[in-house]
Chains A and B, each alone.
Chain A
Amino acid sequence: MQPTSSMNKEFLKKWQMGLQIFRPSIDNTSVSERKRAIKLSADVAMASLRKGTTCWSRALIQKTASEDNFLVRQMLSGIKEETLINKKLPKVMCHRKIVRRSKKILMRRKSRSAMEEVAAKAKKLVKRKTQGLRNAVPGGEFMSNNVLLIQETLDYIVSLQTQVNVMRSIVDAAAAGIER
C-alpha cells in the first residue's frame, strides 16, 4: 500500500493546524526551535491520522506529549485520553548473568546436529533483528507479539512515507517560492 493523496491532504491539514499553534510564538528565532516545532507538529499530525487505533501512534503521541504537552492537547482535542494510553507489557526482570549461564548449560545439554545449530543461530539472529525493529518503531516495546509488530511496522512505514512526501513537497515549494 502506498500513501494516498487523501492521506497526504489530511496530514497536511493537521500539520498546519499544529503549526498554527506555534504561530504566536514565532519569535523563537533559533533554527533548532523552529525545527523542533515543525517536527513535533508533523509527528503528532502523522500519529493523529490513525486516531489512536495503532500502537505506534499512541506511543508517538505519548512521546511528543512528554516534550510538548500543550501542543498535543491542542491538536488532539477530540480524542479521549484513554485511547492514547498504551498497555504496558509485563516486563520480566531477569538477572542477565544467571540467564546467560543457564542458557549455556541448556545448549550444552542438548544434543546438537548441524542443522539444529544453524537453525538456532538463525533464530537468534531473527530475535536480534526484531528487537532492533522494536527499537526503531515507536511503541515497539508495547507490542506483545511479532505479528503485531510487523503489522504496526507496515502502518508506520506508510505513515512515514506520507509524512516525508508532504514535507518534501512543502520544502520544495517553499524553496521555489523563495527563489522568485
Chain B
Amino acid sequence: MDVSEKDELRNGDTTANYDDESANNNNPPPDWRVSGSNQVSAPNDSYPPENQMMDSFGQTLWYDPTNVQAVGYGGFNGVNNASSSSSSFRGNNNMDRSLEMGWNLLPPKGNGMFLPNASSFLPPPSMAQFPADSGFIERAARFSLFSGGSFSDMMNHHHQQQQQQQPLGNPTESIGLFLPSNVGVAHNDASAAMKESNVVRSSEQGNKQNVPGSGNVSEDTQSSGGGGGNGQKGGEASSKGFDSKKRKRNRQSSEAGQSHRSQQSEEEADNNGDKKRNDEQSPKSQGNKTNSGKQTSDPKDGYIHVRARRGQATNSHSLAERVRREKISERMKFLQDLVPGCNKVTGKAVMLDEIINYVQSLQRQVEFLSMKLATVNPQMDFNLEGLLAKDALQLRAGTSSATPFPQNMPMVYPPLPHGFMQQTLSSMGRNISSPLSPINGGYKRQEANGWEGDLQNVIQINYGAGDVPPDSQAAAAAATAASLPSSNMKVEP
C-alpha cells in the first residue's frame, strides 16, 4: 500500500523548487514534493493516524519553509502546520525549524544524506489524511505557540506517547540532526531576502496569533511556524538548547519601508521594554555544517528567534550582538539618506560625526530663525492666520527645482543634494501666504560673491524662482550676526 503510494507520488512530482536538486532524483524527495503539493488542504481536512505521522511529516517537512516563505508554493499553510506540529511530536525540532526558514535549495549532499533516513518516511497512502482527532490539533496548536517551559514537558510527553507507535524513532532523530545543516546551507543563499520576508511575515503572523488550542491550527502553526519550530527541538537537544535560547522581539516590519516613520517611533516605544533573546543553534548541528541563517519570528510572546550563520559562533551573546549590529547598520543606512553628504562616507565614526554636525547645525538654525523672527515681527502675529487660510497658494517652488544652484556659492557645509531645497520648497508651497507676490520671470538672480555679505541674494537663490523679494535689512543684519554654520544652511542648493 505504501509502496504503491510512493510510486504514485514519485511520478507525480512536478514541484519546481526541488527541481534544482539533480541529486534529488531519488524517490523520497519527489514524494515529499508531490505529497506536499497534494496535501495543500490535507492537514486542515484530516490528519493521518498518529503512527503515520512520521511519514506525512517527513514529506511535508520539506515544504514547510517554502510555505512559510511563500517562495513558490501557494497553499502549503496547512501542510506547514501539520508538519511543524508533527515534527514537534517526533522531536524533529531542528528539521522543523530549519524548514521554517523557507529555504528553497536543499543541497544535494544534504538530500543525499537525508534520503536514507527519509526513505523510511515515505508517506502512507493516506498521505493526505492527517489524524482528524482534535487532540492532535490541540497539540499542534499548543506546540505552535512557543512557550519555553511547557515545551519540553509537552515534547517529552509526546515523545513518550509516540514511541510505542513509532518504529521510526531513530531515523527521526537522525533526520532531526541532519536537517538544520541542510537548511542552513540552503538558507545562506537566500538568507537576506528570506530574512526580510520571514521577518515581516512572522511579525505579522505573530500579531495575529490566537489563544493556543484554538481551532485554527493552520494559522497558529504557520504564524508560529518559526516560533514553534524554533522552540521545538529534538528530544535530547531540546532541553539543552531550550534553556539557553534567547528571543528577541521583532519589530522590523518598519524596516521594509523607510517612510514608516511613525510606525518606527511607535515601535521604539515597544522596543524599549522588549526582551531580547536569540535562539541558540542546536548543538547537534555542529556535527553537520553549522549552517543556519537568521530567522525571525514573532510568536505570541514576542520573541524573535535567531539562528547563527554558517561559520559563526553560536554563542548566544554573539548572536545577539550580531543582530544588533545588523539593526544598527540598517538604521545607519537610513541616516545616510537623510543626512546630506553622507553617501560617500563609510564607517561608523565618520558617519556619526556627520550626523552630529548635522543635528547641531539644525538646532542652531532653529535658534537663528527664531531670533530672526523675533526681530522681524515685533507683533508676533506673523499673519499666520492668513497663511493657514490661504492654503491653496502655490509658491513657485516647483519651478525652483529647475534653477541650478549657483556654482560660485561657497559652501562650508557639505553641499546638500540638489533635491533638498526643492523638496523643502514644494513641501512648504502651500504654507506660504499670499503676501508673497509671485514674480514670474523678472526675477534677477544676482551672483553671490560671498554669502556673508549678501543675505538678500541668498534668500533669492533659495527660492530660485524668485518669489521672495530681497530680504529686509533686519534679516540681513541678523544673518551676519548669526554663527557661520547656521548661516551656511541658508546656502543650501
Q: Is A61 an interface residue (CB 8 A)?
A: no
Q: Is B363 an interface residue (CB 8 A)?
A: yes
**Given A1-B338, A157-B339, A173-B387, 18 other A-B residues pairs in contact with their CB atoms under 8 A:** A8-B427, A12-B388, A31-B374, A31-B375, A38-B370, A39-B367, A53-B268, A126-B349, A133-B355, A150-B331, A157-B359, A160-B359, A161-B362, A169-B428, A170-B384, A172-B436, A173-B383, A173-B432
The interface residues of chain B lying within 8 Å CB-to-CB of A55 are: 268, 272
Q: Is A23 an interface residue (CB 8 A)?
A: yes
Asked whether A147 lies within 8 Å of B352 as measured between CB atoms, the reply is: no
Query: Which residue of A146, A157, A174 contacts B358 across the interface (Cβ within 8 Å)?
Result: A157
Q: Which residue of A lies closest to B428 (CB)?
A: A169
Asked whether A158 lies within 8 Å of B338 as measured between CB atoms, the reply is: yes
Query: Which residue of A29, A42, A150, A169 contacts B431 across the interface (Cβ within 8 Å)?
Result: A169
Q: Which residue of A lies closest to B257 (CB)?
A: A1
Asked whether B376 lies within 8 Å of A174 as measured between CB atoms, the reply is: yes
Stretch touching chain A among B56-64, B74-82, B91-99, B466-474: B466-474
* 12 pairs, CB–CB < 8 Å, chain A vs chain B: A26-B379, A35-B374, A38-B370, A39-B366, A42-B370, A54-B265, A154-B264, A157-B335, A169-B432, A171-B372, A178-B474, A179-B469
Q: A2–B258 Cα gap in the complex (Å)?
A: 10
Asked whether A136 lies within 8 Å of B373 as measured between CB atoms, the reply is: no
Query: Which residue of B272, B355, B431 contacts A148 across the interface (Cβ within 8 Å)?
Result: B272
Of residues B349, B365, B432, which shows the largest number of chain A Cβ atoms within 10 Å of its Cβ? B349
Asked whether A53 lies within 8 Å of B265 as measured between CB atoms, the reply is: yes
Asked whether B324 lies within 8 Å of A145 as measured between CB atoms, the reply is: yes
Asked whether A147 lies within 8 Å of B431 as measured between CB atoms, the reply is: no
The interface residues of chain B lying within 8 Å CB-to-CB of A151 are: 264-265, 268, 331
The interface residues of chain A lying within 8 Å CB-to-CB of B372 are: 171
Q: A53–B374 Cα gap in the complex (Å)?
A: 31
Asked whether B380 lies within 8 Å of A42 as measured between CB atoms, the reply is: no
The interface residues of chain A lying within 8 Å CB-to-CB of B339 are: 157
B319-374 contacts to A, CB under 8 A, are 324, 327-328, 331-332, 334-335, 337-339, 348-349, 352-353, 355-356, 358-360, 362-363, 365-367, 369-374
A-B pairs, top 5 by smallest CB distance, nearest first, are A129-B352, A34-B374, A35-B374, A150-B331, A39-B370
The interface residues of chain B lying within 8 Å CB-to-CB of A160 are: 359, 362-363, 366
Q: Which A residues contact B (CB, under 8 angstroms)?
A: 1-5, 8-9, 12-13, 16, 19, 22-23, 26, 29, 31-32, 34-35, 37-39, 42-43, 50, 53-55, 87, 122, 125-126, 129-130, 132-133, 136-137, 144-148, 150-158, 160-161, 163-180
Question: Given A42-B366, A173-B387, A154–B436 Cβ distance below 8 Å?
Answer: no
The interface residues of chain B lying within 8 Å CB-to-CB of A12 are: 384, 387-388, 431
Query: Which residue of A122, A150, A157, A171 contacts B349 across the interface (Cβ within 8 Å)?
Result: A122
Asked whether A178 lies within 8 Å of B428 as measured between CB atoms, the reply is: no
Q: How far is the CB of B447 from chain A (nearest CB, A)?
A: 20
Q: Which residue of B lies closest to A3 (CB)?
A: B427
Asked whether B433 lies within 8 Å of A173 as measured between CB atoms, the reply is: yes
The interface residues of chain A lying within 8 Å CB-to-CB of B387 are: 12, 170, 173
Asked whether B373 lies within 8 Å of A167 as measured between CB atoms, the reply is: yes
A-B contacts, CB under 8 A, total: 222
Q: How far is the CB of A80 from chain B (nearest CB, A)?
A: 14
Asked whether B356 lies within 8 Å of A147 as measured between CB atoms, the reply is: no
For B372-415 the 0/1 string (1 means CB < 8 A from A) is 11111111111111011000000000000000000000000000
The interface residues of chain A lying within 8 Å CB-to-CB of B475 are: 171, 175
Q: How far is the CB of B391 from chain A (nearest CB, A)?
A: 8
Q: Which residue of A lies closest to B332 (CB)?
A: A150
Question: Given A5-B430, A39-B370, A156–B359 Cβ distance below 8 Å?
Answer: yes
Q: How far is the CB of A139 from chain B (nearest CB, A)?
A: 12
Q: A55–B269 Cα gap in the complex (Å)?
A: 8
Q: How far is the CB of A33 from chain B (nearest CB, A)?
A: 8
For B432-474 the 0/1 string (1 means CB < 8 A from A) is 1101110000000000000000000001001100001111101
Question: Given A129-B348, A136-B356, A151-B331, A165–B374 Cβ distance below 8 Å?
Answer: no
B268-284 contacts to A, CB under 8 A, are 268-269, 271-272
The interface residues of chain A lying within 8 Å CB-to-CB of B165 are: none
Q: A147–B426 Cα gap in the complex (Å)?
A: 32
Asked whether A171 lies within 8 Å of B331 as measured between CB atoms, the reply is: no
The interface residues of chain A lying within 8 Å CB-to-CB of B370 are: 35, 38-39, 42, 167
The interface residues of chain B lying within 8 Å CB-to-CB of A2 are: 338, 423, 427
Asked whether A147 lies within 8 Å of B428 as measured between CB atoms, the reply is: no
